[in-house]
Every structure is written in C-alpha cells, then in structure tokens.
Amino acid sequence: MKIKDFNSKLDQMFPDAKCELNYNKDYELLIATVLSAQCTDKRVNEVTKVLFNKYDIYSLSKASKKEIEDIIRSCGSYTKKASYIIDISNNLVNNYDGHVPNNREYLESLPGVGRKTANVVLSNIYNIPAIAVDTHVERVSKRLKLASKKDSVFEVEKKLMKQIPENKWSRTHHQLVLFGRYICKARNPLCDKCLFYNDCQSKDKKTRS
C-alpha cells in the first residue's frame, strides 16, 4: 500500500480528526491525557469537567489526595493517578508558574507522563509534529502491516514516522486513534466500513457479504 493511498483513505474516513479530550488550558490537556491511560476519553471528559470546575493548577498542587481520588475514581487506578495529578501540578507551579513548557525531556520526567503523553501535549499545544502511539494506533499499525506484531510501541512510532510525511504526523495520529476507536476495534471490528479492507490481513478481519 502506497503511503499516499494510506493518507488519502484516512482523509476520507476522518476528514476532521482531532483530539477528543476536552480542555481549555495546557495543563488540562496534560492531566486529561494522564487520566486517559486504560480509560476512555468519554469517561475522562466527564471526570475532568468536575475536576477543572473545582480546581485550577494552583489549587490542584495543594489539593487533598482523597478529594482528587473521589473525583477521578471512575477513571481507574485512581490512587496512583491522584498522586500523579498533585505531583505534576506542584512541578508546573514551582518550575513554570503553572504552564506546560515546550520541553519533551522535562515533560517525560513528570510522574505518570511517558512519551505518548508528551507527544499528545507537544502536538496539540505547540503544533510540534508527533505521532503518539496508544493501543488504537498500535493495533491499527500492526493490522495494516505498517509495523510488525513484535514491535514495541516506540518501534511502531519510529516506523510510522519513517513512512508518513512529517507534516502529516499529527493529523495521521488523530485519524489512527479514531480509526482504531470506532472502526478497527480490538473486538468486533467494523470491516464493512473500512476502506483498508483489501489491504488488511488481520485474523480478526470479517468476511464481507
């Protein structure tokens, strides 16, 4: 499959792809992305609506862990994530007056923040070309043979960056997330709605009638 065809089909399926996490400030996106680990964006948006109505970055840095846990409980791993939120807020307040810096090394040093989260933040806040590989992007990439089954998340990212033009990295990331979330699902993929049907060799592929 030619990469031009690949991007063209994604454009047809998801012409208006964008981040589905709701946020108004840079730190809100960072915290929402941390909360999204093993949790749906829909659930995170419900939780952050309450969280960010009650706290800003400064009050979060001084918040009670128990109060944060009570708000984010439905996101899973709430004890760990509550600690992350308070620690991240403290770091941002003490080091950058509450703002999220354009600094990958710093972001990845924060508790609960890995390469994927840093990519999401840098791409959406600072328009830095990046491909954040979550479970959806990883699954789609491997099903379409853009990466090997044995590849790590970082190896998948590197292969996608090599094949996709840099000016399309961020857009393609959002499209692949939506593609994996709504069509090329882990279970019961909607193959009848997929423009990559003839390119896909996944064992989960369904026969079209």
Would you call 49 a catalytic residue per the annotation? no
Q: Which of 5, 54, 134, 142 is catalytic?
A: 134
**Are 28 and 99 within 8 A, CB to CB?**
no
Please return the burial class of 159, using the count of CB atoms within 10 Å of its CB with bins 0-12, 13-18 and 19+.
middle
Residues 107, 108, 113: CA angle, nearest 5 degrees: 90
Would you call 204 a catalytic residue per the annotation? no
List of residues 6+ apart from 44 with CB closer than 8 A: 21, 32, 35, 36, 75
Q: Which of 49, 116, 145, 149 is catalytic?
A: 116
Annotated catalytic residues are: 116, 134
